[in-house]
Structure 1
Amino acid sequence: MKKAYSRALAAAALAGSAMFIAQAAHAQVSNEDTDIVPDPEGPTPAAGPVTQSTNANQIIVTARRREESLQNTPIAITAINAAMLENKNSLNIGDLQGEAPNLLITQQNSGAAAANLSIRGLTYADVEKSQEPTVGVVIDGVFLGTNTGQLLDFFDIEQIEVLRGPQGTLFGRNTIGGVINIRRSRPTFETGLKAEISAARFGTYSGRAVANFGIGDVIGIKPFFFYNESDGFYRDGATGERRGGSENKNYGVAIAVEPSTDFDLLLTVEKQEQDFDVVNSVITNDGELFCGFAAPELCNRNTTTDLYTVFGQPASGTYSAPALTAEMNWDTGPVRLTSVTGWRKTSENQTQDFDSTPVDLYYTQRLQKYQQFSQELRAAGDLFDGFDYVVGGFYFNSDFDLLQFTRVFGFAPDVPPREFDANPQNVVGTTQSYAVFGDFNWAFAENLRLSFGGRWTRDEKTLRNSFAQLGLVGEGDASFSKFTPKVGVDWRPNPDTLLYASWSRGFRSGGFSPRAATAETAGTPYDPEVVDSYEVGSKLDLLGGMLQFNVAGFLSKYDGLQQNTTIPGGPTGNQTITNNVGSATIKGIEADATWRPVTNLRLNATLGVLDAQFDDFTAGNVVGGLLLPFDYTANDPIYSPDVTASIGAQYMQPVSFGELVGTLGYRYIGKYDQQISLGPLTGDLVNGPVIVNGNDPRVRTDTQNLLDATLTANFMMGNTEAYISAFGRNLLDDRGTTAAFTVAGLFSFASAREPRTYGLTLGIDF
């Protein structure tokens, strides 16, 4: 890892040197770039008379609940706007992987439109709704409390901001890794239509449309409808048919009301629906129990090309999620008041063949209902010249109900789980969260600014675990509270340079174990995780604003690590519970650059380097019916590749019929593990402690080299703008896992990343 750090430091230094040389060589270049959000009047100052850059083409972000220039925001943040997404033919949030340093987004096939998110090595990889995420996804100001529904369509997005590091002050609990802040487009108040259809490999078809019209200058209405279907990229090993298909719909209407210049209301009513074929790839080896029941050719398969042929029984999932969002802003002059209300309800019915073989060994059906409501109130303004603030309060509640039917060694594939299992498990949980927060900027000296704030949060949680016949297993009721402060200072030695340093604290809430199987373990809560993050960085505007180069270094101390462990107890003899098992230290370097050397050419690059290590990690495991201490300190933390990097180019060329836009992007993602698991064992295997020397190699994804390209022709059809786009993703056909799990010496399964795909898109915009 030291070598990787040295290479990263050298690369950052060389990049900085090259850019300063380029500044001298290319001092006279154009300021035109359609990918940059224009702001002719400049951003609203975040802290009084701090010197602003003279660049007129600035990306405006709201990461700190204020409108301010990206280059004037003293945190590590990547902003991606609508034009960038459209020119790359991005489909959903998963296409952001590699676009920001130290960011991973993989699909979780155990839930509908579900994502595993990791920023700076902090991740959440569980489908249970009682357990909290580490990266917050915020849509139009509303926090999603569960990972299902996060793989959003990108057609109607105005801008996405990836905030790296704990964001507890302004965004609250469960954002210890960072936040993905998504803003959809607002109604335009003018008549218009944006629509497109696409066809791609694997029987993939989609149609998207967003309309706009106004009722005078007061009411703007924006209905939208997105549809996507696919046959899937897996092959059934017995029939040869495609598997892993899906049908997705997202539709609704946004209504904006602006009766005056100082008040506005935005109401969005929508529904997301998904029907999908649930598949797993078998990676069980001959050292696991289930291998003895399966055909020999289904054991010891590889975790690259073999993944794309599947053998499991048919399984399916349905997902329905109506939602409502309301945002109101009232500018009183001295104070701007904001209210954000969110409501979301989900219903899921999913079957899954976890052993992934034709033999009926472990098959489940999960019926889940989830509902969340949130309300945030904020006030923002200037207390005096050079001192601005954002203060507010937040309320969140959620409840869920899980009913799980299971066939274990059922050998009855034709009997539905609801008929086979007369003793299904039922888990019911609730969360109520209250918070107050304040965030302040004080320009206390010329070109110096102090940023500070904090948030106090209190969570109240309940969980009840029972079986239909066995009755109540156990239940718990607990509260968790935490104050999460942040303090930082930034300095502008000149209008084009920002230097900053900060310390922030974030926490991931505690809770109860949904898979606990005794009264004691079901009623005993685990404590919150806490992260203290130290960061220094710089943001440089060069070449008259045509070159931006940002670099940050960080150190995170991670305490109270929550981890699932297996211990004795319950009807089957073993049970899985969540414990606080240890601590970790994560340090890293991040750099990103955007350069426009000539008119119509945009180059960008990112680099992320991580050194993630457990300081201590001890948990109990069952060996021969006894609970022994296992030391996992030598294992690698999950979803923490040593290096992530990307480089991309976009070029626009005027032609006789309009314009051609070409993009080419390469992403490199180093190897990383996807589960804390058992690799080689040493130590005292009889009495403990047992030393675990790394994770099982099957849960390690290989190095990824991902190449994407698009070519778009923009032209006019009468008074209508039109475009046709040819695109290719993963052109090198890099194959491997997106998720892989081993289960207690019984079986192992995985899911695969999308292989090479290509297609065409036709669209209009008027």
Structure 2
Amino acid sequence: MKIINFRRQLLLTTFASSMAIAMSAPAQAADASTQANDSNQIQDIIVSARRRNETLQQTPIAMTAIVASQLESKASVSIADIQGTAPNLLITQQVTGGAAANISIRGLSFADIEKSFDPTVAVVVDGAFIGTSTGQLLDFFDIDSIEVLRGPQGNLFGRNTIGGVINIKRSRPKEELGGKFEMEYGSFNTMSERGVLHVPLVKDKLFAKVFAFHTQTDGFYKYYTDRSPRGGGNNTNFGASFLYKASEDFDALLTLEKQVSEQDNVVSNISGTGEVFCLFAAVPGECNRNTTKDLYTVFADPGQARYSSPAATLEMNWNAGLVKLTSLTNYRESKDSSYEDVDSFAEPFYKVDRHSKYRQISQELRASGQFAENFDFVVGGYFFDSKYTLNQKTSLFGGDFYQSQITHGTSQSVAAFGDFNWEFLPKLRLNFGGRVTHDKKGLDTSAPDGAGVFTDFGWNHKSWTKFTPKVSLDYRPTHDLMVYGSWSQGYRSGGFSGRGLDQVSATTPFNPEKVNSFEAGVKAELFDRRLTLNLAGFYVKYKDIQETITKSGGSTGNITIVENAASAKVKGIEADFTARPIDGLTVRGSLGYLHNRFSGFTNKEAWSITDGDDNVLDSGLHIYDYSGVNMIYAPKITASVSFEYKYELGNDHQVRLNGGYRYIGAYDQQVSRDARIPTIQDNGTTVLTSNDPRVRANKQSLLDASLSYILPTGGGETRITVFGRNLLDNRGPATAFTVAGLWSFATAREPRVYGVQVGYKF
């Protein structure tokens, strides 16, 4: 009954909002006739969220579009800087993986660097899907646009998009000589140099773009004895793109690139009384620390993480008259190594030395066109293949490293999809389609068995096939208003746990996740296109959730694996707007509200008591009911408001002032029982109402500002920008994790940062 009431309220709210806006449309239309040439109107943003070029306001999807000028004016550094800008969007950095990101949209997330797991939110760069969370934390200098698509996008973007898609487009080679260059210096001795150069090679036929970005920093952590910096590193991206235009009907774009990074692998200890590692703490203050300011002091010298990833992408487009054909081929590989002192104590008790190799190949073929003036389509096929190897060694309690794991994994996916737009009545349009996907996963793990003998648990594989449909209906009573409603299904492939370290956990597959998503929304342009307002409400039924669970076993004593642990219901409301109230001033804002609830979420752990001869004296089963805890990376409220003001000084000199405030509510980062609390039910069910409080990220109030001076220089323009991020110095965890009964650790968010940029473009 509650579900029915919520859907009814959602539809009534959307309908009422639509009618209120529609009633004002005639007056606005009259104003438009007299102010059609107003330069202060908000310009159309062209997006490709449905593999077509259409305006943002005419696309029946809840999405936020971010253009290059917004990123430049905010002095944005990476994809993480857009979190909070779009409703119900959260992005944090996972420091234990190369350029890895934890991304959550509408509370649907998966935070892990293991290559055996697929992301919940897809990051797509120039049309190519990045198959793992490593490599998703991208530099923002050479970006044309970013589209944040919220909700399942399995129809056109693939199986692992049940939360949504971040669709990133970089600049294409230009037909005229041009470029832009930038240098930056900021807090923690952070230095960056970035450059992009466009060069025509053969007139009207062949054009090139070369780019290189480099950033290095000392890091914002402090060592506990002398306060020297920790957490430093450097990151380099470089490459070239070549655009060949054989004719007006055919072009080909080849991009060759590589990313290389090295960084201190820093984690902060948050272990507490009752956990094993606190029995060995050597320095006062190592245990029972808070999860805010204490995180920025570390006790161990960090290990090193290295990441190298070359990639190649080839896009070909052929306009064959009635149909446009597109081929997108992508190859990406990576090598990453990570030496981690996980407990972060002055005396190391748990160290890990990880080395992994990964490669992916994907091929997509699409055809798009029109059957008739009121009927267009996109159809295609997709192929994806990946494989990886993980070699891990472990040291426990200060002992020598031993071989703890060698894992080989494979993944193949084949899909066919179609998407159709039919305006069957004037102003009324039906969008429908679907995707059929066949996935196959394989895994082979070798690890010490219960007797300490290194054992191959055998090669295992499993396949899944799923059809995911989508249907939406939109109505456009005027050019400035659209109302829509949609139903879609999402699917994320099953697989095997790459962290499984015994016979059962390494060979038992987990099944796919599935979502049913209902959405209704309204998009409007008001006050002679000086205000755009987009509203959406959604309800999601989430089944067979792939949840990370820690169990006892394996050579390390604990195994972190993935199981289909629960179902959940997620509902919420989203709004974003852009306004230009006066000449030179642009104001943007967003608001997201999220409510979620697990159901049927239990975890079972066997226990036993033995004597000195390993004879079992007593045994039983601990059953933990997690149905009352929070979903991870799902803040209840996200909100933002920002402005950009441009003031012309004359003679093409300009001042730009930018400011923004983002609020992100508190959220949990792991489904985790607080191991410091003794279990009451040895042979029954213990009901948990919250996760371990140490894995809860405190609420964030993030204030950013920048001031730029732009002046003409030598046929181009020079920009000088001073900026500050997180001016309120809001501190807390970026990630946090506990291993029941043993230890707990976290990484910290970036504190207050100041800096200056000098850029030139022509």
User: TM-score, structure 2 length as denominator?
Assistant: 0.93
- Give the alignment partner of residue 410 of structure 1, picking from 398, 403, 428: 398
1:480 aligned residue (449, 456, 464): 464
Distance change in 2, residues 1:16/1:722 (3 Å): farther
**CA distance change for structure 1 residues 441 and 221 in 2, over 3 Å: closer, same or farther?**
same
> Counterpart of 1:700 in structure 2: which amino acid?
R
Correspondence for 1:665: 660
Alignment of 1:180-579 (within 5 A): 180-214=166-200, 215-294=202-281, 295-410=283-398, 420-467=400-447, 470-571=454-555, 574-579=558-563
Amino acid in the other structure paired with 1:95: D
1:174 counterpart residue number: 160
Give the Å deviation of 1:14. 10
Shift of 1:698: 0.8
Contact conserved, 1:439 with 1:453, CA < 8 A, in 2?
A: yes
- Residue in 2 that maps onto 1:158: 144
CA distance in structure 2 between the aligned counterparts of 1:645 and 1:691, rounded to whole angstroms: 33
Question: What is the identity, as a one-letter code, of the residue corresponding to 2:441?
Answer: K
Counterpart contact for 1:194–1:765, Cα < 8 Å: yes
Quick one: structure 1 residues 32 and 343, their matched pair in 2 at CA, closer, same or farther if it must change by over 3 Å?
Answer: farther
C-alpha distance after superposition, 1:512-539 (max 9, x if no partner): 1122233233222110010110000000
Q: Say if 2:47 is the partner of 1:61.
A: yes
Secondary structure, counterpart of 1:539 in structure 2: strand
Deviations 1:383-411 (A, max 9, x none): 12211110000000000000001111125
Deviations 1:46-84 (A, max 9, x none): xxxxxxxxx882100000000001000000010001111
**Distance between the aligned counterparts of 1:454 and 1:360, measured in 2?**
52
For residues 210-248 of structure 1, give each alpha carbon's deviation from its aligned partner in whole angstroms, at most 9, with x where no partner exists.
Answer: 001112011110000101011111111123211111111
State the alpha-carbon separation in 2 of the partners of residues 651 and 15 from structure 1.
Answer: 31
Tell me whether 402-411 or 546-555 shows the greater mean CA deviation: 402-411
Runs of 5+ consecutive residues of structure 1 not aligned to the other structure: 35-54, 412-419
Alpha-carbon distance change, 704 to 31 in structure 1, aligned in 2, over 3 angstroms: farther
Q: Report the RMSD for the aligned CA atoms in angstroms.
A: 2.6
What number of residue pairs does the alignment pair up?
A: 736
1:31–1:545 Cα contact (<8 Å) kept: no
1:124/1:134 contact within 8 Å kept: yes
Does 2:129 match 1:143? yes
Alignment partner, residue 43 of structure 1: none
| Distance (whole Å) between structure 2 residues aligned to residue 669 and residue 692 of structure 1 | 25
Distance 2:177 2:334 in 1: 33
Separation in structure 2 between the aligned mates of residue 228 and residue 26 of structure 1, nearest angstrom? 49
Q: Give how far 1:326 is off.
A: 0.6
Match of 1:706 among 702, 707, 715: 702
Question: 2:656 is aligned with what amino acid?
Answer: V
1:129 Cα shift? 0.8
CA distance in 1, matches of 2:716, 2:15: 45
Deviation of the 1:599 alpha carbon: 1.6
The answer on whether the counterparts of 1:26 and 1:597 sit within 8 Å (CA) in structure 2 is no
Match of 2:568 in 1: 584
Please list the CA deviations of residues 251-289 of structure 1 after superposition, one character each: whole Å capped at 9, or x if unmatched: 000000012111111000000000101100111111211
Determine helix, strand or coil for the equivalent of 2:96. Answer: coil
2:611 is matched with none
- Residue correspondence of structure 1 range 79-94 to structure 2 within 5 A: 79-94=65-80
SS in structure 2 at match of 1:71: helix
- Structure 1 residues 18 and 281, CA, compared in 2 at 3 Å: closer, same or farther? farther
C-alpha deviations, 1:86-120, integer Å up to 9, x for none?
11111110011011000000000111111000000
Residue 613 (structure 1) aligns with = 597
Partner SS state of residue 601, structure 2 = strand
- How many angstroms does 1:718 deviate by? 2.8
> How big is each residue's C-alpha offset from its partner over 1:624-650, in whole Å with a ceiling of 9 and x where there is no partner?
564422110010000111100001111
Q: Determine if the alignment matches structure 1 residue 600 to structure 2 residue 584.
A: yes
Match of 1:103 among 89, 96, 103: 89
Q: Indicate whether 1:678 and 2:662 are aligned.
A: no
Are the equivalent residues in 2 in contact too, given 1:567–1:627 (CA < 8 A)? Answer: no
Could you say if the C-alpha distance between residues 513 and 751 of structure 1 is closer, same or farther in structure 2, counting changes exceeding 3 Å? same
Q: Relative to structure 1, is the Cα distance of residues 92 and 497 closer, same or farther in structure 2, using a 3 angstrom cutoff?
A: same
Q: What is the TM-score of this pair, normalised by structure 1?
A: 0.92
Letter in structure 2 aligned against 1:690: T
Deviation of 1:720 after TM superposition, in Å, equals: 2.1
CA–CA separation in structure 2 for the residues paired with 1:607 and 1:627: 44
**Structure-2 separation of matches of 1:621 and 1:60:** 53
Specify which of 685, 692, 707 is matched with residue 696 of structure 1.
Answer: 692
2:484 partner letter: Y
Quote how far apart the aligned CAs of 1:615 are: 2.0
Partner of 1:745 in structure 2? 741
One-letter amino acid of the counterpart of residue 667, structure 2: Y
- Residue in 1 that maps onto 2:615: none
Structure 1 residue 575, shift from structure 2 partner: 3.2
CA contact 2:533–2:576 (8 Å) conserved in 1: yes
- Inter-partner Cα distance in structure 1 for 2:382 and 2:454: 40
642, 646, 664: which one pairs with 1:648?
A: 642
Q: Could you tell which deviates more after superposition, 56-65 or 316-325?
A: 56-65
| Structure 2 match to 1:75 | 61
Moved more, 117-126 or 539-548: 539-548
Letter of the 2:209 partner, please give it.
K
Q: 1:551 to 1:31 in 2, by over 3 A?
A: farther
Aligned-pair distance for 1:16?
11
Deviation readout 1:418-444 (Å, 9 max, x if unpaired) = xx3243410110001000000011101
Q: 2:757 — aligned with what?
A: 761
**Comparing 493-502 and 56-65, the one that deviates more:** 56-65
Q: Tell me the equivalent position of 1:718.
A: 714
Q: Return closer, same or farther for 1:607/1:10 CA change in 2, 3 Å cut-off.
A: farther
Give the letter for the 1:728 counterpart.
G
Following the alignment from structure 1 to structure 2, what is the Cα–Cα distance between the partners of residues 574 and 222? 49
- From the superposition, tell whether residues 480 and 68 of structure 1 become closer, same or farther in structure 2 (CA, over 3 Å): same
Identity of aligned residues (%): 49
Per the TM alignment, residue 719 of structure 1 is displaced from its structure 2 partner at its CA by 1.5
TM-superposed CA distance for 1:296, in Å, is 3.5
Deviation, structure 1 residue 26? 9.2
Q: Secondary structure at the match of 2:476?
A: strand
> What secondary structure, in the 3-state scheme, does the structure 1 residue paired with 2:71 have?
helix
Secondary structure of the residue aligned to 2:528 is helix
Q: Tell me the SS of whatever aligns to 1:504.
A: strand
> Matched residues in 2 for 1:753 and 1:10: separation?
37
The alpha-carbon distance between structure 1 residues 639 and 31, as it changes in their structure 2 partners (threshold 3 A), is farther
* Helix, strand or coil at the partner of 1:171: coil
Structure 1 residue 622, shift from structure 2 partner: 4.3
CA distance change for structure 1 residues 21 and 236 in 2, over 3 Å: closer, same or farther? Answer: farther
